[in-house]
């Protein structure tokens, strides 16, 4: 399915692995091995998988053992390479990992996503056209209880099913995206204090150069966020990142930033209500839980508003966003 001379590498960042269990990571690694095996059966070359982590170089063997225990087949279908960036944040690990890649195409995947059958072939298929620079996959949240269903409804990812309109407008998923190696090496994820801002800035660079983002139905599911501590922190950082994006893409004017915090609050409050009411049934959420889901959703974006407003007014100083130790699940 991939053009004859095209090779590919995968970069798997391990920052998120700090907050999930190895048995969950193992599910994703097994799925990755299955996908590589399927594509290799069509004649594609054996790929390199770069495991990019934020620990010490000496952590390599421990990581190799864990991966071998959870998904022994992965080392059989691909070459495993480990690269360390001590203390590296999310995008640092992606940038550092791609330096060790060797394929014509570089695929970025996170340690806490699980590929559906056909994911890899679907993500590689657009590159049969030599002019394609970027193929963007389809990421959605898994769910199995009230809070994970609520997160799936209000999150930045489209729903797994029945969400075509939102899915068609999705931005780059840094956890499920592929680039021509030549292009991404010269356009690494920009350094930024924000938590999840760099992929937006990279997307702007891509579009500014006149390249098209090819959204494809290459599906992975992301484990749902868990816990009130994560809820509180992620809502606030979502608001701060929204202000950072507004400054980068629109205006540094403090007045405009404050006005934007209010308009975004209204927009996200309406969006949250519309999505919960419109899609709750698709998640299997009982009707009696819908009002409580609305309360949770409005609370999340209320906190996000406060994060954005306090940042825009200067009450909160700009500093590098890192995942606090108290956060239990990313």
User: Which contiguous run of DSSP H or E holds residue 157?
Assistant: none
Q: What is the DSSP letter of 195?
A: S
Prediction pTM value: 0.93
Phi, psi of 247 (to 5 degrees): -60, -45
pLDDT digits (tens, 9 = 90+) for 157-200: 999 887 887 887 788 999 999 999 999 999 999 999 999 999 99
Closest CA to 195 of 245, 146, 155, 160: 245
Confidence of residue 330 (pLDDT cuts 50, 70, 90): very low
Look at 73-82, 117-126, 226-235 and tell me which has the smallest mean pLDDT: 226-235
Say whether pLDDT at 277 is over 90: yes
Say whether pLDDT at 150 is over 80: yes
pLDDT at site 329 = 47
The whole-number average pLDDT for the span 258-278 is 97
Q: Treating both helix axes as pointing N-terminal to C-terminal, what angle do 198-208 and 228-249 enclose, rounded to 10 degrees?
A: 30
Q: Would you kindly state where each structural domain of the chain is located, as residue ranges?
A: 8-222, 228-312
Range 8-222: architecture per CATH: Alpha-Beta Complex (3.90)
Closest CA to 154 of 329, 302, 272: 272
Rounded distance between C-alpha atoms, residue 229 and residue 329, angstroms: 9
Rounded distance between C-alpha atoms, residue 57 and residue 59, angstroms: 5
The whole-number average pLDDT for the span 118-143 is 95
Say whether pLDDT at 90 is over 70: yes
Say whether pLDDT at 17 is over 60: no
Strand boundaries in 70-182, DSSP class E: 79-84, 105-110, 113-115, 134-141, 176-180
């Amino acid at each position: 399915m991939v053009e004859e001379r095209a090779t590919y590498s995968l970069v798997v960042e391990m920052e998120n692995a700090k907050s999930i269990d190895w048995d969950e990571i193992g599910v994703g690694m097994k799925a990755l091995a299955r996908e590589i095996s399927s594509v290799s059966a069509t004649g594609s070359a054996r790929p390199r998988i770069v495991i990019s982590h934020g620990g010490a170089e000496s952590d390599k063997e421990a990581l190799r053992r864990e991966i071998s225990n959870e998904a022994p087949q992965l080392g059989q279908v691909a070459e495993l390479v480990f690269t360390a960036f001590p203390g590296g944040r999310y995008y640092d690990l992606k940038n550092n990992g791609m330096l060790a890649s060797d394929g014509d195409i570089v695929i970025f995947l996170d340690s806490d996503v699980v590929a559906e059958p056909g994911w890899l072939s679907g993500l590689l298929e657009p590159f049969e056209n030599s002019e394609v620079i970027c193929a963007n996959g389809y990421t959605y949240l898994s769910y199995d209880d009230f809070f994970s269903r609520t997160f799936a409804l209000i999150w930045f990812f489209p729903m797994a099913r029945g969400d075509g309109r939102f899915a068609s407008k999705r931005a780059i998923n840094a956890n499920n995206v592929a680039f021509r190696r030549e292009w991404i090496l010269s356009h690494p994820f920009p350094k930024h204090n924000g938590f999840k801002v760099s992929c937006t800035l990279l997307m702007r660079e891509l579009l500014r150069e006149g390249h098209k983002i090819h959204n494809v139905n290459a599906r992975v599911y992301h484990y749902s966020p868990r816990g009130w501590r994560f809820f509180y922190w992620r809502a606030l950082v979502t608001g701060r990142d929204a202000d950072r994006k507004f400054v980068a893409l629109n205006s540094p004017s403090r007045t405009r930033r404050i006005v934007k915090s209010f308009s975004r609050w209204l927009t996200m409050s309406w969006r949250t209500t519309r999505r919960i009411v419109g899609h709750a049934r698709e998640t299997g959420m009982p009707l009696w839980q819908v009002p409580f889901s609305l309360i949770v959703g409005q609370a999340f974006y209320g906190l996000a508003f406060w994060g954005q407003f306090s940042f825009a007014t200067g009450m909160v100083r700009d500093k590098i966003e890192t995942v606090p130790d108290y956060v239990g699940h990313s």
